[in-house]
Chains A and B, each alone.
Chain A
Amino acid sequence: MKIVVPVKRVLDYNVKPRVKADGTGVDLANVKMSMNPFDEIAVEEAIRLKEKGAASEIVVVSVGPQKAQETLRTALAMGADRAILVQTDDVVEPLAVAKLLKAIVEAETPGLVLLGKQAIDDDSNQTGQMLAALTGRPQGTFASKVEVDGDFVNVTREVDGGLETVRLALPAIVTTDLRLNEPRYASLPNIMKAKSKKLETKSPADYGVDITPRLTVLKVTEPAQRSAGVKLADVDALVGKLKELGVGA
């Protein structure tokens, strides 16, 4: 079984995002960029499935600028087998990404597509579900456990009330939540090896997909800022504040 893992290059999760003064977006000039953390978890899960013998090949895909090659190389260094970059400098909304991935899924016919549940830049949480819709496949979103069982995959999902398990007919789409696994670091020899792994570059036009955005971003602003309040001297002062707030009295 082949596994396709889409990955996105995003602002590193440790960097505090700064809104540009002209209100057009978040400043990405000269800041650290990394693989979206949820996608790292997806890559790791695919590698573990391969190590267990449940998968034969892992193809990583990114839609984005030329620099997204670095993100793909990271995935290759972790253990993916080959990579496809659908290169574009344009804004690509989740729907367009899903359409590109659909074309890739049709060409590659993977048994499983593993995606991060959301990208930490636009926080959309859409691409996996959209890909499942467009390919007519079942979806196991927000996975904290993935077990391939013959022609099925059992996915335990993190839901508002706790955990829920669904059984999906393969081929299927799975999106990862944080507790699915802890991604490995690529070792130096593997980073070197990754350099010679195959990385194909394509364009959206190669797949005949129109990526024109449907949403216009009118402006991007800072959220209302909270200011630091006061430090209290001791527990008694805190008891007093809680009583003033009308709780715990």
Chain B
Amino acid sequence: MSILVWAEHDNAALKDATLGAVTAAGKLGEVHLLVAGSGVDGVAAQAAQVAGVAKVLVADDAAYGAALPENLAPLIVGLMSSYDAFLTPATTTGKNIAPRVAALLDVAQISDILSVEGPKTFTRPIYAGNAIATVESSDAKLVITARGTAFAKAEATGGSAAVEAVATTGDAGLSSFVGAELAKSERPELTSAKVIVSGGRALKDAETFAATILPLADKLGAAVGASRAAVDAGYVPNDYQVGQTGKIVAPEVYVAVGISGAIQHLAGMKDSKTIIAINKDEDAPIFQVADFGLVADLFSAVPELTGKL
């Protein structure tokens, strides 16, 4: 089987999410990476080194610079005549592109796969991860998104794939990119961090969140996450949200501070290796999944903890 994997990048460097997608695709057959973007020679060179990639297709066109699905879908659909499957990481951009491709190919997409059980059989989470479905496709071609936490990252170096330019399809004239407000942070990225400290509604406001959570995260070398309640209340930006509709994370250690443990939050972090919860309510549902719980007022416990580390 031959699989076309859409490579996620920012036109300058390959994103880590691509590496998990390569591993997932490698379980199905021969992996080719599509680097579509604007001025992406450097990304293509990087992609060629990823272990397990047999070929890199490069589509360099200003129309692909912002990964607009209206422009990318025709390119991918054209390429798919030579492939059995199309796969993207289950990131916001991957989720934006894959269904548009699937519909044009008249294929039912399999979202967010957790494992490859056979050439057409996969497991995927439903109901915020409260159930796992094993599904088999009857379509001639497959369109898949793969959950990052479920597949080890392929080695970024060691490969030596051939790089081939492909014809571009230009601008569909339906959409344009206006701008982005991307968070800049010195901290590790949430989805690849080994340790995460997340704060919830209990953190009161943006200043209190920063004053309480950040020093602890600094001590632990951790990324910072949040519950939906904390994001909605404006304590932190939206890209901090962990959960069913935010980021799916599985760090070595996840510290939940003042988070009750709603199923939608658990959906994003319950595969963490060790979960630590600090909450003043001993009946908070977060304690049902926590390996280590501390029933305490966070406003005294967290500063004390930070001080003692």
Minimum CB–CB distance for A103 against chain B, Å: 14
- B65 in contact (CB, < 8 A): no
Q: Within 8 Å of chain A (Cβ to Cβ): is B157? A: no
Residues of A within 8 A of B291 (CB): 229-230
With a cutoff of 8 Å between Cβ atoms, the chain A residues found around residue B131 in the complex are 17, 19, 25-26, 220-223
For chain B, what secondary structure do more than half of its interface residues adopt (helix, strand, loop), or is it mixed?
A: mixed
Would B182 and A95 count as touching, CB distance under 8 A? no
* Complex interface: chain A residues within 8 A of B301 (CB): 235, 238
Q: How many Å lie between the Cα of A229 and that of B66 in the bound state?
A: 45
Say yes or no: B102 contacts A219, CB within 8 Å: no
| Contact residues in A for B244 (Cβ distance below 8 Å) | 120, 123
B138 (CB) vs chain A CBs: closest residue:
A214
Give the CA-CA distance A169 to B134 in the complex, in Å: 39
Of all chain B residues, the one with the shortest Cβ separation from A164 is: B180
Q: Return the CB mask of A157-176 against B: 1 if under 8 Å, else 0.
A: 11111111111110000000
- A246 → B minimal CB distance (Å): 8
- Bound-state CA distance A104–B41 (Å) is 44
Within 8 Å CB of A117, what residues of B? 245
- Chain A residues near B161: list those with CB within 8 A: none
CB distance from B51 to the nearest CB of A (A): 24
- Taking a contact as CB atoms under 8 Å apart, the answer to whether B293 and A216 are in contact is no
- Chain A positions 140 through 166: 1 when the CB is less than 8 Å from some CB of chain B, otherwise 0: 111010000000001001111111111
Asked whether A52 is an interface residue with its Cβ less than 8 Å from the other chain, the reply is no
Stretch at the interface among A66-74, A78-86, A124-132: A124-132
The main secondary structure of chain A at its interface with chain B is mixed
A77 at the interface (CB under 8 A from B): no
Pick from A136, A159, A245, A249: contact of B274, CB under 8 Å: A245
- Check B275 for interface membership: any CB of A closer than 8 A: yes
Assess whether A215 is in contact with B136, with CB atoms less than 8 Å apart: yes
| Contact in complex: B68, A166 (CB < 8 Å) | yes
B126 touches A133 (CB 8 A): no
Size range of the interface on A? 35 or more
Query: Do A162 and B195 have beta carbons less than 8 Å apart?
Result: no
Query: Which of the residues B108, B263, B296 comes within 8 Å of A95, measured between beta carbons?
Result: B108
CB distance from B184 to the nearest CB of A (A): 9
The CA of A231 and the CA of B73, in the complex, are separated in Å by 51
In the complex with contacts A158-B92, A214-B108, A245-B274, A129-B100 CB distance below 8 A? yes
A93 to B131, CA, bound (A): 18
Q: Are A139 and B100 in contact (CB under 8 A)?
A: yes
Give residues of chain A (90-106) contacting chain B, Cβ–Cβ below 8 Å. Answer: 93-95, 98
Residue A87 is within 8 A (CB to CB) of chain B in the complex: no
Within 8 Å of chain B (Cβ to Cβ): is A107?
no
- Would A95 and B252 count as touching, CB distance under 8 A? no
Which residues in chain B, 132-170, are within 8 Å of chain A measured between CB atoms? 132-139
Does B103 contact A120, Cβ atoms closer than 8 Å?
no
Interface residue from A123, A142, A163, A167 paired with B127 (Cβ < 8 Å):
A123
How many residues on B have C-beta within 8 angstroms of the other chain's C-beta atoms? Answer: 93
| Segment with Cβ contacts to A, from B42-50, B54-62, B282-290 | B282-290
Chain B positions within 8 Å of A139 at CB level = 69-70, 96, 100, 175
Q: Say if the beta carbon of B13 comes within 8 Å of chain A.
A: no
Q: Which residues of A contact B93 (CB under 8 A)?
A: 159-160
Q: How far apart are the CA atoms of A57 and B213 in the complex, in Å? A: 47
Q: Which of B127, B136, B245 gathers the greatest number of chain A CB atoms within 10 Å?
A: B127
A 171-212 to B, binary, CB cutoff 8 A, 1 in contact else 0: 000000111000000000000000000000000000000000
B12 at the interface (CB under 8 A from A): no
Do B180 and A123 touch across chains, with their CB atoms under 8 A apart?
no
- Residue contacts A-B, CB under 8 angstroms, 27 given: A17-B128, A124-B109, A126-B99, A126-B111, A129-B103, A130-B100, A133-B101, A137-B174, A158-B239, A162-B182, A162-B238, A167-B175, A178-B228, A216-B136, A217-B135, A219-B134, A220-B131, A220-B134, A226-B275, A230-B293, A231-B292, A231-B294, A237-B294, A238-B292, A242-B220, A242-B276, A247-B253
Known pairs A17-B128, A26-B126, A160-B239. 18 more at Cβ < 8 A?
Answer: A16-B130, A123-B127, A124-B111, A126-B111, A142-B92, A161-B182, A164-B181, A215-B137, A218-B134, A220-B131, A226-B275, A228-B287, A232-B294, A235-B296, A238-B276, A239-B309, A247-B221, A247-B252
Chain A residues at the B interface, C-beta cutoff of 8 Å? 11, 13, 16-17, 19, 25-26, 93-95, 98, 117-118, 120-134, 136-142, 144, 154, 157-169, 177-179, 213-223, 226, 228-232, 234-239, 241-242, 245, 247-249
